[in-house]
Structures are given as structure tokens and as C-alpha cells.
Structure 1
Amino acid sequence: MYILLALIAACALGIGLHFLLPGREMRGVIVTPGIATAVAAVVYTAMQWAGVGQDSIWLWLASIVGSLAVAAVATLALTSARTRSDAAKKTALGI
């Protein structure tokens, strides 16, 4: 049941991260929180299987802060790729 706390925290902080990162008009509002939540689920589960207890601070830091870091990098990469793709299409169309 504690995994739900990690997932809710990652999703809520991912929503905030969406509004903090530049280029939000280039992506959907669910991209960043979705990535953060998925990564938090994988990290939390993997660390539980590795034997890290629910009372360990490392479990919570890795699953929440780690997922936000991965989501930020992935979101910036996706936004950058979208910007380059749009620029290339505009150049090809002569706009």
C-alpha cells in the first residue's frame, strides 16, 4: 500500500514539474507526470524486491526524487526533439 504514496507524490510533483519546465506548449500535460509516475513505480518495486524496507529513506528518495530527475531529462529531450522536428518541417514547407 505504501507504493501508492510514492506514486501519488511522483504524479503530483510531476504536474508541478510540467509547469516549471520550458516549452510546455510543445507537449501534453500528462507527459511529465506520466513519466514520473511510471519511473517511480519501477524504482519502488525494484528496490522492494532488492530487500530495501519501507522505512528506508533511500527507497523514498530514489523513487520520488529519482523519478522526477528522469522525468525532467526525458521531458526536456522530448521537447527538444519536437522543436527540431517542427523547425525542419517548417523549413521543408518554406514557412
Structure 2
Amino acid sequence: MYILLALIAACALGVALHYLLPRRDLRGVAVVPAITTAAAAAIYTILQWSGVGENVIWLWVASIGGGLLIAVLATLALSALRIRHDAAEKLALGI
């Protein structure tokens, strides 16, 4: 049940992260929160399975902070890929 608190916090911070990162016009509004939430869920689950309890602060820091870090890296990579793809399409179309 505590995983919901971590996922809600990660999703809310992912929404804020969407507006803090550059090139918002190249991605959808739900991309960054979705990546953040999925990464936080995976990290939280892996740490729980490895025996870390809910009362350990590192579970929360790792899941929420790790989710945000993964979302930042993935979003910057997706934005760079989109810019490269758009430039290649413009070149192919002769624009």
C-alpha cells in the first residue's frame, strides 16, 4: 500500500519536471510523468524484493529520486532523438 504514496509523489514530481525541462513542445504532457512513475515503481519493487522495509528512508529516496533521474535522462535523450529525426525529415523533404 505504501507503494502508492511513492508513485503518487513520483507522478506529481514528474509533472513538475515536464515543465522544468527544455523542449516541451517536442513531447507529450504525459511522457515525463509516465517515465518517472514507471521507473519509481520498478525501483521500489526491486528494493522491496531485496528486503528493504518501508520504514527505511533510502527506499523512498531511491525510488522517487531514481525515478526522477531516469526520467530526466530519458527525456533529454528522447528530445535529442526527436530533434535529429525532425532535421533528417526536413532534409529529406527539402524544407
Q: TM-score range by the shorter chain?
A: over 0.9
- Aligned twin of 2:24: 24
TM-score (norm 1): 0.98
2:38 and 2:51 map into 1 onto residues whose CA distance is: 20
Counterparts of residues 65-84 of structure 1 (less than 5 Å): 65-84=65-84
* Aligned residue in 2 for 1:52: 52
- Cα deviation digits, residues 70-90 of structure 1 (max 9, x gap): 000000000100011001100
> 1:67 offset after TM fit, Å?
0.4
Cα distance in 2 between the residues matched to 1:7 and 1:23:
25
TM-score by length of 2: 0.98
Structure 1 segments, 4+ long, off by >4 Å, are: none
Q: For this pair of structures, how many residues does the alignment match?
A: 95
Identity over aligned residues, as a percent? 65
String of CA shifts for 1:19-77, please: whole Å, max 9, x gaps.
00001100000110000000111110110110001010110000001100000000000
SS of 1:53's equivalent in the other structure is coil
Q: Give how far 1:92 is off.
A: 1.0
Any stretches of 5+ residues in structure 1 without a counterpart?
none
